[in-house]
Structure 1
Amino acid sequence: MRFHSAFWDEWQRLYLPSLDKHLLFVIENNPVEGKAALEYLSTSPQRWAAQAVQIELDARSLQRCADVEAIREAHRSLVIGELENEVSPLLRIFSRISEDVDAALNQASAYNQRLPLRDVADKLNLHLQNFARSSDKYTVRFYPIIKSWREIVTNYIKELAKITELRQEIDSPYIIGVPLTLEQEIFTGRNDIGLRMIEQLLLDYRRPPLLLYGQRRMGKTSLLNNIGKLLPNSIIPMFIDLQGAPSSASDHAGFVYNLAREMEKSAKKQGVTLPSLAREVLKSDPFTYFYEWLDKVEQALEENTVLLALDEFEVLDNAIAKGRFDEQDVLGMLRHLIQHRPRFKILLAGSHTIEEYQRWASYLINVQVVHISYLKEAEARQLIERPVKDFTLRYEPNAVERVLQLTRCHPFLVQLLCAEIIVLKNEQDPSIRRLATLADVEAAIPEALQSGGFFFADIQNNQVNATGQAILRFIAAQGEGAIVSRQRLLQEFADADITFSLLLQRELIEEVADGYGFQVELIRRWFV
């Protein structure tokens, strides 16, 4: 290869026919020398050959994917962006499909694998149709690959269904520990909260910011992910997870850039394309350029309104407290949106009230709190008995009642306990597998407490102080349904009025007559 004129004549600018084919031949027979030549040519006047070879290498790599395991790994080896060219959009399609397959296969149950894989298959079908309409040489080259991937994914979905039916297993539709997305059918209820939010968004001329307030694992993020189902088409929800890129930025430029990127990505899921915001322009005056970008966004919205949903607002407050962001600049920006941009509605979500964060209260005037708590009983029953279409597990009536008693319709705990019931049933003889009894519910409790340990430990370690823990253990020791009188508790825990107020606010205990008891039996079991 070194004797080729492309290497010994560095000023060789003439087009050298078949250099790409020769380079491919060398890579196939001498990979080390071939890849070194590819790297050299990528910055030479013959870079066209390097680009053509890299495209063909990527195509061959994708074509070698013979099963879903190979497809899930494909995105890790694709070269995109280093040699930006006309095939980059095609490679990004394959990269995203690979990432989606990887995420799907990370799901624990066959059911939860099939659900996102069906979405992947739909995307592959759409891409296949678009590829078929194109005569572009690169699209033609990649057409058989996208067709092969579709067949592999479709066949794997069928195989999962056959295995499940052959084993008479019960598919678990329950999602534990991560928020529910739009694609997941199991999202249940919350229509009353959606109606309350619509009333505030559309009918209140003052445009007050909303605070979606509720304890951890009550389904706040799941609701935000699915809120588009509850809102009219004229309101475009843009979901921003403040635990992610925006709050982790090192300066204001990074903050507003990441915020704009998340808004763009969220809008795209709703079928709305927003103008892009270049990071470079933000360095000198980030907020001014961000406001100018918002002007362009409003033009792109036409007659629509944005619901800017900022989840986990406490994380942003923590960044401000550490001095990474300036309070006046960041919270002043939110106040500007509320007061001067009627096309933007602000929704904060968190497990604390604004009163607990005084700096926010002075910027966000007239915040309207929308409380998210336990599911309604009918919603919880649906989550237990009919979480998805064609659910194969049936419950005896007293088994359903026991699940309701143990969880108090807490959305996370219903899913946690029901998921463990399914694990238990799948270990039983097929003749009794598809009917859950009261005994099954009781047998699943210890496993639920163990697998949901992260939820209970968060309550114990992060939501209450040492006195609160002692109070909860004391009440828990009295037994299921026990109510401990206020007088007795004050004898045991003098000067604990503030702690009792905190436990009530955290919805861990409730006041009954002149005493206190646990709100949720499963949480009591953890503290025994």
Structure 2
Amino acid sequence: MSKKLKQGYSNWVDGDRFWGREDDIRLLTQKIDGGANILLVAQRRMGKTSLMKELQRRRQNSYITLFIDLQKATDSEDMIVELSLSLKPYASLWNKTKELFSNVLSQFTGVVEELNLGEIKIKLRAGLTSGNWMEKGDVLFSMLAKSEKPVLLLMDEVPLMVNRMLKGDEFKISHERRAKVDEFMSWLRKNSIEHKGNISIILSGSIGFEPVLRQAQLSAVINNFQPYDLKPWDEVTAVGCLQALANEYGIIFNKRAEFVMIEKLGCCIPHHVQMFFSHVNDRCIRRKEMDFNPEEVDDLYENDMLGIRGHAELTHYEDRLKLILSPEIFPLALAFLTEAAVAGVLTNESVMTLQKEYGFESRMMSEVAGEIMRVLEHDGYVSRGKGGYVFESSLLKDWWKKRYADFYVAVKERR
């Protein structure tokens, strides 16, 4: 029987919507069962959150599986609140958590469960200060370590939270902010070591963790987390995904059109594969003809994938880059990426030329370029290729070129 797959619609997926990561599940399971703490590393839209959610689903019989999303968290206290709330489905742990926060929850004795999560979050946050979050966090970790089953703690968007802690709204790394990040990460490191064997932690996020910590010279605080590099799908997995989606929605790929689609993408980032299919499905439904031919791929790619809807899907690459690079150096990063898109490669000579066009009085230009390229490589925008840096994803390269090429002249064409 042919496999079928429902679309994910840009959200994380698990269960019967999860596709193509069996080897990663198997390897991560071995590492977790061996007591490892993991730093999940990947470029954007690779499916890190979906992988964590699927691990949570599959390991729930062997572990107490806790998933906390720190996308909106701004400090250590927020993290403790989210960890506390994740215990609500586990009665014995939740009762102990309520005791830990009795100073703010006692007035609601007997009716706490009637409060919605937002109200409970406010009350828990009120019970935390810069002076006691660490103490309460230690108690929570000790509680988890003594649970009847080992604990798998999945922490998503930790780099975003740490980035906010480190830079604030004005994007300035101060001594005080650096000290707070050091305190938080050292605390997390201490608990991950102290409770090794009872609690396994996976950290992940939509911006690279190492570049953020490196900016504050704090890279060592995650050296006990084992990096796991989540790669793009291979062609077989990506084509299989398209075929399973086609089977679910009644699309007929003629003359290996799905293979032409994958070749067009260049790099099989899971979200981009599903995004391509979504455009195919929409087009077929509108014209009331469910056959899709390879001759249509270029037109759909240019007008839909790189069009207005595609723009909305891909602008997050630029938005996330703004979060990690300061406003001072962000324009140079845009120039580097635009040169790589328009010229096909960002050479060392181009880097030197572009550096001269962007004056930096307070920092060495070589230091600035080095910081930018570490971020662009780590987060999967570009990789080192023949003669310089090249885009890994043809889709991202073509989108970047379409967005900026009209206002840019490649370095080698300048006079």
Provide TM-score, normalisation by structure 1.
0.56
Match of 1:421 in 2: 280
- Evaluate the alpha carbon distance shift between residue 286 and residue 418 of structure 1 in structure 2; reply closer, same or farther with a 3 A threshold: same
Partner Cα separation in structure 2 for residue 255 and residue 456 of structure 1: 29
TM-superposed CA distance for 1:287, in Å, is: 3.7
For the residue of structure 2 that corresponds to 1:453, the secondary structure is helix
Partner Cα separation in structure 1 for residue 293 and residue 320 of structure 2: 35
Structure 1 residues 368-383: aligned runs within 5 Å:
368-383=226-241
Partner Cα separation in structure 2 for residue 192 and residue 368 of structure 1: 17
Match of 1:443 in 2: 299
- Evaluate the alpha carbon distance shift between residue 293 and residue 493 of structure 1 in structure 2; reply closer, same or farther with a 3 A threshold: closer
Partner Cα separation in structure 2 for residue 286 and residue 489 of structure 1: 48
Q: Is the 8 A contact 2:192 2:199 kept in 1?
A: yes
Q: Does 1:280 align with 2:102?
A: yes
Q: Does 1:472 align with 2:317?
A: no
Match of 1:192 in 2: 23
Match of 1:315 in 2: 160
For the residue of structure 2 that corresponds to 1:517, the secondary structure is strand
TM-superposed CA distance for 1:403, in Å, is: 1.5
Partner Cα separation in structure 2 for residue 477 and residue 428 of structure 1: 35
Q: Is the 8 A contact 1:195 1:230 kept in 2?
A: no
Partner Cα separation in structure 1 for residue 211 and residue 390 of structure 2: 26
TM-superposed CA distance for 1:307, in Å, is: 1.5
For the residue of structure 2 that corresponds to 1:228, the secondary structure is helix
- Evaluate the alpha carbon distance shift between residue 370 and residue 413 of structure 1 in structure 2; reply closer, same or farther with a 3 A threshold: same
TM-superposed CA distance for 1:424, in Å, is: 0.4
Number of residue pairs aligned between Structure 1 and Structure 2? 336
Provide TM-score, normalisation by structure 2.
0.69
Match of 1:291 in 2: 138
For the residue of structure 2 that corresponds to 1:427, the secondary structure is helix
Q: Is the 8 A contact 1:201 1:345 kept in 2?
A: yes
Q: Is the 8 A contact 1:209 1:364 kept in 2?
A: no
For the residue of structure 2 that corresponds to 1:507, the secondary structure is coil
Partner Cα separation in structure 1 for residue 225 and residue 258 of structure 2: 38
Q: Is the 8 A contact 1:186 1:387 kept in 2?
A: no
Greater RCO between the two (CA within 8 Å, min separation 6)? 2
Match of 1:146 in 2: none
TM-superposed CA distance for 1:198, in Å, is: 2.3
TM-superposed CA distance for 1:503, in Å, is: 3.3
Structure 1 residues 124-163: aligned runs within 5 Å:
none
Letter matched to residue 363 of structure 1: V
TM-superposed CA distance for 1:492, in Å, is: 5.1
Match of 1:222 in 2: 50
Letter matched to residue 425 of structure 1: C
Q: Is the 8 A contact 1:174 1:186 kept in 2?
A: yes
Q: Is the 8 A contact 2:5 2:247 kept in 1?
A: no
- Evaluate the alpha carbon distance shift between residue 398 and residue 473 of structure 1 in structure 2; reply closer, same or farther with a 3 A threshold: farther
- Evaluate the alpha carbon distance shift between residue 363 and residue 511 of structure 1 in structure 2; reply closer, same or farther with a 3 A threshold: closer
Partner Cα separation in structure 1 for residue 377 and residue 185 of structure 2: 29
Partner Cα separation in structure 1 for residue 134 and residue 348 of structure 2: 55
Judge which range, 458-467 or 217-226, deviates more: 458-467
Letter matched to residue 240 of structure 1: I
User: Any stretches of 5+ residues in structure 1 without a counterpart?
Assistant: 1-170
Match of 2:173 in 1: none
Q: Which of the residues 37, 47, 52 maps onto 1:209?
A: 37
Q: Is the 8 A contact 1:507 1:519 kept in 2?
A: yes
Q: Is the 8 A contact 2:141 2:191 kept in 1?
A: no
Letter matched to residue 179 of structure 1: W
Partner Cα separation in structure 2 for residue 280 and residue 314 of structure 1: 31
- Evaluate the alpha carbon distance shift between residue 212 and residue 406 of structure 1 in structure 2; reply closer, same or farther with a 3 A threshold: same
TM-superposed CA distance for 1:211, in Å, is: 0.6
Match of 1:404 in 2: 262
- Evaluate the alpha carbon distance shift between residue 388 and residue 242 of structure 1 in structure 2; reply closer, same or farther with a 3 A threshold: farther
Partner Cα separation in structure 2 for residue 334 and residue 517 of structure 1: 36
Q: Is the 8 A contact 2:153 2:199 kept in 1?
A: yes
Letter matched to residue 299 of structure 2: A
Q: Is the 8 A contact 2:47 2:271 kept in 1?
A: yes
Q: Is the 8 A contact 1:215 1:507 kept in 2?
A: yes
Structure 1 residues 44-123: aligned runs within 5 Å:
none
Q: Which of the residues 194, 214, 217 maps onto 1:340?
A: 194
Match of 2:376 in 1: 503
Letter matched to residue 86 of structure 2: E
Q: Which has the larger radius of gyration?
A: 1
Q: Is the 8 A contact 2:251 2:292 kept in 1?
A: yes
Root mean square deviation of aligned Cα: 3.4
TM-superposed CA distance for 1:208, in Å, is: 4.6
- Evaluate the alpha carbon distance shift between residue 339 and residue 490 of structure 1 in structure 2; reply closer, same or farther with a 3 A threshold: closer
Instruction: Encode CA deviations 1:4-25: one digit per residue, 9 max, x unaligned.
Output: xxxxxxxxxxxxxxxxxxxxxx
